[in-house]
Amino acid sequence: MEFVKLILMGNFLSYDACSSVEMCNLGIFLTDDAAEKVSSFKEWLTDDNDLCTCSNATALEKDNGFILIKDLYSEEEVPTQIKLTYNQFLQILNDWEEKVVKLWPKEVIIKRENDQFVFETKNG
């Protein structure tokens, strides 16, 4: 099982731990780029003319039905990417908005099991 763990630090969620570079990239994208701007990434997803975008920490690219997310500041010669289907990406954005942005839990663990992403939140 792969995971990324995020914790509330003051007024924002921050990366705490992860099981792989790919999951770390997902956490960085959510905390640093999507944060509270989920709608802009949903709009980007549906715009067939806009194949790539970047923000504070990550770069996103559409590639044959997949979304690739990589760290803009990776020290790797070839940056590791997490590869998501459009449906996975949209579900992650929806879960982030509903379970995190609206509720601001103290801890979020996102698990990847059998190509499904599951959000677990804790407030205490």
Its domain, for residue 89, covers 2-122
In one-letter notation, the amino acid at residue 47 is: D
Spatial CA neighbour of 5 closest among 32, 33, 38, 28: 28
Tell me, what's the pLDDT at 23? 96
| 39 class by beta-carbon count within 10 Å (0-12 exposed, 13-18 middle, 19+ buried) | exposed
What angle, rounded to 10 degrees, do the helices at 38-46 and 86-95 form?
160
**Backbone phi and psi for residue 65, each to the nearest 5 degrees, phi listed first:** 85, 5
Tell me, what's the pLDDT at 13? 87
Which residues is 119 bridged to in the sheet? 110
Q: How far is it, in rounded angstroms, from Cα 12 to Cα 10?
A: 6
Tokens 């990406």: give the residue: 89
DSSP state of 43: H
Tell me, what's the pLDDT at 10? 86
Tell me, what's the pLDDT at 95? 97
In one-letter notation, the amino acid at residue 23 is: M
Tell me, what's the pLDDT at 35? 85
Angle at 110 between CA 101 and CA 92, to 5 degrees: 60
Average pLDDT of each block of 10 consecutive residues along the chain (124 residues)? Answer: 93 90 95 90 93 93 96 92 97 96 95 95 88
Domain count of the fold of the chain: 1
Tell me, what's the pLDDT at 11? 84
Spatial CA neighbour of 32 closest among 87, 1, 72: 72
